[in-house]
Structure 1
Amino acid sequence: MWNDRFAGEAFVYGTAPAAFLTREAGRLPAGARVLSVAEGEGRNAVWLAGQGCAVTAVEGAPNAVAKARRLAAARGVTVDFRLCDLRDWPWEADAHDAAIGIFIQFGPRDVQDRMMAGMKRTVRPGGLVLLHGFAPRQVGYGTGGPPHAEWMYTEALLRDRFADFEIRALRDYDAEIDEGTGHRGRAALVDLVARRPAG
């Protein structure tokens, strides 16, 4: 399904980074080692590389990775793109300064829980997990995302899943988004920035 969605020449979600990422990137240390999960067509990983981060971007759709590599080349940056089904991703422990997941709510709760656990595992002590996705009311807006309210984030869900981390930011809000043809219009959004304790 995802490979078909990314088959055309156009960037389904645009080439600009998510506003959440540009707003929160100042929390990352200079030269941060960042893992971008389910990166898609490269817009966020390429932007992070342009800010001086060392980015590994994992994505399961070959068409998306091909477009992401073209975008990186056009912007003159280097990203370590990995074509891999996320169910097979090893989640190396303590390997990154940050793990980022932007609109990755493409599976049921147990799938998402395994992914969150992997993101928590792969950041070093003191490292950050940044999540940006949709709240349940997004289903009624029809401006992007899966049609399953139970796949969406709530503040209570993320507070529970990251109870062993320090929550630096957690918000539920509405905003107008314009991210290619895939996300356009009023959206119900949830942001999380959580820090793994350093001790």
Structure 2
Amino acid sequence: MNSKWDESYNIEEYRYGETPNLFFKETIDTLPIGRILLPADGEGRNSVYAAVRGWTVDAFDQSLQGREKALRLAQKNNVDISFKVIDFENVSENYIRDSYDAIALTYVHLPEQLKAKYHQSLLPLLKTGGHILIEGFSKEHVKHQQQNPSAGGPPHVDMMYSKQEILLIFDSLAINLLEEREIELAEGIGHNGKASVIRFIGQKI
């Protein structure tokens, strides 16, 4: 359990809203429905959307408060999701190898010394032909944080992504999409305003 995120999610509203991240939504809408894993899924907005679309959903997060809100959101939308309170360290003992058609990380920002290790720990769980989806803040996002405190994002630039990092971390995957772009975010109270993001779709071959 992570007290920082429990405190962050201990509010009546959903910090990043109840609707899915746009890139996540648009991407999984194009994929064949199957089983999906959502690491660090917070309050469950993406998990619930995937379940509504017919996916079998597994998710985890460090925050017990996040899990409780995710399960409430699932109940509100009349779907079932499996949501565990674990950390990336516990991935291999909680999930089965070669069992996921997709793994999606949305604004999952990890300490620099753990970034490659934790992302690569997910790869054995992916089926051959399965996809990994990522949207996260790029290192250029710092300028938006400085201009707009509501833009959101991690406190350290080292936790943000670069295209070069993605290529190194996922060098075993086929790259279907890798781009850095400026977008406008309106996700609850947590992400609002201009943002610089990395978007990635990789496929296990």
The answer as to whether partners of 1:139 and 1:146 remain within 8 angstroms in 2 is no
In the TM superposition, what are the counterparts of 1:22-37 in structure 2 within 5 Å?
22-30=25-33, 32-37=34-39
Question: 1:102 corresponds to which letter in structure 2?
Answer: T
Q: Aligned-pair distance for 1:115?
A: 1.9
Q: Which segments of 5 or more consecutive residues in structure 1 lack a partner in the other structure?
A: none
Quote the Cα distance in structure 2 between the aligned partners of 1:85 and 1:151: 17
Q: Aligned-pair distance for 1:42?
A: 0.6
Question: 1:62 corresponds to which letter in structure 2?
Answer: L
TM-score by length of 1: 0.94
Which of 39, 45, 48 does residue 46 from structure 1 map onto?
48
Q: Specify the alignment match of 1:103 in structure 2.
A: 107
Q: Aligned-pair distance for 1:89?
A: 2.2
Question: 1:126 corresponds to which letter in structure 2?
Answer: G
- Give secondary structure in 1 for the equivalent of 2:59: strand
- Give secondary structure in 1 for the equivalent of 2:139: coil
The answer as to whether partners of 2:91 and 2:122 remain within 8 angstroms in 1 is no
In the TM superposition, what are the counterparts of 1:1-199 in structure 2 within 5 Å?
1-30=4-33, 32-90=34-92, 91-105=95-109, 107-142=110-145, 143-197=151-205
1:155-175, Cα deviation, whole Å (9 max, x unpaired):
111112112110001110001
Q: RMSD of aligned C-alpha atoms?
A: 1.1
Quote the Cα distance in structure 2 between the aligned partners of 1:23 and 1:156: 24
Quote the Cα distance in structure 2 between the aligned partners of 1:158 and 1:33: 23
Quote the Cα distance in structure 1 between the aligned partners of 2:87 and 2:74: 21
Q: Aligned-pair distance for 1:109?
A: 1.9
Question: 2:68 corresponds to which letter in structure 1?
Answer: A
TM-score by length of 2: 0.91
Quote the Cα distance in structure 2 between the aligned partners of 1:78 and 1:85: 21
Q: How many residues align?
A: 195
Q: Aligned-pair distance for 1:176?
A: 0.5
The answer as to whether partners of 1:119 and 1:129 remain within 8 angstroms in 2 is no
Quote the Cα distance in structure 2 between the aligned partners of 1:179 and 1:27: 22
Question: 1:189 corresponds to which letter in structure 2?
Answer: V
The answer as to whether partners of 1:135 and 1:189 remain within 8 angstroms in 2 is yes
The answer as to whether partners of 1:126 and 1:195 remain within 8 angstroms in 2 is yes
Quote the Cα distance in structure 1 between the aligned partners of 2:122 and 2:134: 10
Q: Which segments of 5 or more consecutive residues in structure 2 lack a partner in the other structure?
A: 146-150
Percentage of matched positions with identical amino acids: 29
Q: Aligned-pair distance for 1:189?
A: 0.7
- Give secondary structure in 2 for the equivalent of 1:89: helix
